[in-house]
Amino acid sequence: MADEYFDVTPAWIETSALTAPALIGAAAGLLLGDLMHRGARRGVGIALGAIGIAALLPFVVGGVTGLVTGPRSKFGVRRKIQRIRDAGIVAPSYNDVEEELREQGLL
């Protein structure tokens, strides 16, 4: 059943889809760069660079987090083993009605 929803998109399609906006932006920058004043060009370049870094930051943080706490890291293995151990420990279920009836001597 799980195989029915498996995504078979080739890696080069995904890569080209991710790089296309950057290439279009670079081309527009080269074409419009000479039309702008030098001071304006510098400010726009710095602002666009900061926006680009801010857009990439979640991917970088997610990648580093995956390396540190992922399933193949030392911490990930420890967490998985702890979950397996905790799955065997079942907390007793408390039923308030049963407890009341036991206190009254009816059960």
pLDDT at 40: 80
Distance CA 85, CA 17 (A): 43
Query: What are the boundaries of each domain within the chain?
Result: 11-104
Burial of 82 (0-12, 13-18, 19+ CB in 10 A): exposed
pLDDT at 79: 85
pLDDT at 62: 83
DSSP label at 91?
P
Asked whether residue 3 carries a pLDDT value surpassing 80, the answer given is no
Q: How confident is the model at residue 2 (pLDDT cuts 50, 70, 90)?
A: low
Distance CA 74, CA 64 (A): 14
The identity of residue 78, as a single letter, is R
